[in-house]
Homo-oligomer: A and B are copies of this chain.
Amino acid sequence: MGSVGDVTPQRLLFDEPLTLRSGARIAGYELMVETYGRLNEDKSNAVLVCHALNASHHVAGTHAGIEKSEGWWDNLVGPGKPLDTDRFFVIGINNLGSCFGSTGPMHLNPATGRVYGKDFPVVTVQDWVDAQARVLDRFGIQQLAAVLGGSLGGMQALDWSLRYPQRMRHCIAVATAPNLSAQNIAFNEVARRAIITDPEFHDGFFYEHGVVPRRGLRVARMIGHITYLSDDVMEEKFGRQMRAAELGYSTSDIEFQIESYLRYQGDKFSEYFDANTYLLITRALDYFDPAREHGGDLSRTFASALCKYLVVSFTTDWRFSPARSREIVKALLDNKRDVFYAEIDAPHGHDAFLLEDPRYHGVLRAYFDRIAAEHERPVPGGTATVSHRLQGVAV
């Protein structure tokens, strides 16, 4: 198993305006894209990998000359890895409104000649998926072998399967949910308030003031981090470990290692992440709710689905708990869709979807093997049998 090695992102320019769910139109935009592996002749081996809150188009491989520049899902994507780039053509796209090179709030708004800032239109999961579909058009890809995503990326994969059912054969939705719970929205809202009420946010136009609302970003990231980790793994990793042997009796100095860890994560994040992007992406999470248009009925929502599904959850994920994944599985089964569900007993909480757990990667490897086998030697009727055998297996 190797790395895809040094990779070079492409910047794709789209001149045709994109009308967003909000009704707003983006006149033209750029998207950063990376691809790994080779697109086969009939363009049938492409896998789109959708990113979550703070990731990007840089899914795998390294950027030449930059240390520790491995892509965010490098443990999964590469030659011989579960998503094998010797077999599949893998595409990573930085979403609109993000802050890793694609058009976002830190760029010039052609309508005003001013940096977008708060004026960047609110983007939704559907908008991202529509923009991703255009990237596929550009590559001449009619049908994807699969769309894969974890967390918010999983929501994009689900949305793909509902709105572009003909354009994909498999949907792989990991550690995700059919919508956010009140508690999920609550955590997002606190993070947004921390950013928006930071005086250096300047109503979203901080760029012009030469400052960054770092305090808000730090707090937002600290909150996020707590929800990514399970209580258990935090306990095991940090527990009540102190920094010094004796209590320092201070409310502002670091006393416990968990404080040190969180502050470090917050500091690091505030140095590279855009505050407006944080607001936009958490809002896209809040809004995602495909059943809304179907009176809240998730089974009716999935009636339009055609592809096959792999749904994966993690037992200790309290952000998007297995119960939320099971809602998706139930809705698919209600529609007699082909679905394979794996509930992985992993200790790491929501973060598990990014980690290299052997059982988890084993499931993904097996599933991609199946996709490849279907593609290489399609056996009519055979795949349904396989998938029914796997259905509902807890790993």
Contact = CB atoms under 8 A, between A and B. Distances in A.
A301 to B, nearest CB: 14
Interface of A: 21-24, 118, 121-122, 179-183, 185-187, 189-190, 192-194, 196-199, 215, 218-219, 222-223, 225-226, 229, 231, 234-235, 237-240, 247, 249-252, 255-256, 258-259, 262-263, 266, 276, 279-280, 282-283, 286-287, 289, 318
Contacts of A266: 193
Given A249-B121, A262-B186, A289-B240, A193 B181 contact: no
Given A189-B262, A255-B286, A231 B183 contact: yes
B122 A235 contact: no
Nearest to A254: B189
B194 A194 contact: yes
B240 A218 contact: no
Contacts of A187: 226
Nearest to A231: B183
A249 B182 contact: no
B199 A240 contact: no
**Number of copies of chain A assembled together:** 2
A95 to B, nearest CB: 15
User: What 9 A-B pairs have minimum CB-CB distances, sorted nearest first?
Assistant: A22-B249, A251-B279, A197-B215, A122-B249, A182-B234, A182-B238, A190-B222, A182-B258, A189-B259
Contacts of A276: 251
Nearest to A252: B196
Contacts of A286: 255-256
Given A190-B262, A193-B266, A197-B218, 16 more contacts: A181-B234, A182-B235, A182-B239, A182-B240, A182-B258, A183-B231, A185-B259, A186-B222, A189-B263, A192-B252, A193-B219, A193-B222, A199-B199, A223-B223, A231-B318, A240-B289
Nearest to A192: B251
Contact of A179 (B199, B215, B240, B287): B240
A50 to B, nearest CB: 21
A187 B229 CA distance: 13
Contacts of A250: 122, 283
20 contacts: A21-B247, A23-B249, A24-B249, A122-B250, A181-B235, A185-B256, A185-B258, A185-B259, A186-B259, A186-B262, A187-B226, A189-B222, A189-B258, A189-B259, A190-B219, A193-B219, A196-B252, A231-B318, A250-B283, A255-B286
A251 B280 contact: yes
